Structure 1
Amino acid sequence: MRVVATWDPAAYLTFDDHRSRPFYDLIARIGAQMPRRVVDLGCGPGHLTPVLARRWPDAEIVALDASPEMVAAARERGIAAELADAADWEPGPADDVVVTNAVLQWVPQHRELLPRWIAALPAGGWFAMQVPGNFAAPSHALVRELAAEPRWAGRVTLRGTEAVAEPTEYAELIAGAGARADVWETTYLQRLTGSDPVLRWIEGTALRPVRDALDEDAYAAFTAELAPRLRAAYPPRPDGSTWFPFRRIFAVAHRLD
Structure 2
Amino acid sequence: MDGPMRRGYDQLEASLQAVIPSLEQPPKAILVVSAHWEEAVPHVSTHLAPPMLYDYYGFPEHTYHIRYAAPGSPDLGLRVRDLLRAGGMDCREDTQRGFDHGTFSMMQPIRPEADIPIVQLSVLTSFDAAAHIAMGSLLKPLRDEGVLVLGSGLSYHNLRAFGAQGHTASHAFDQWLRDNLAGVEAAPRLAALERWTTAPAALQAHPRPEHLLPLMVIAGAAGQDPCSIQFHQDDFFGGLAVTSFRFG
TM-score greater than 0.5 by the shorter chain: no
Pick the structure with greater CA Rg.
1
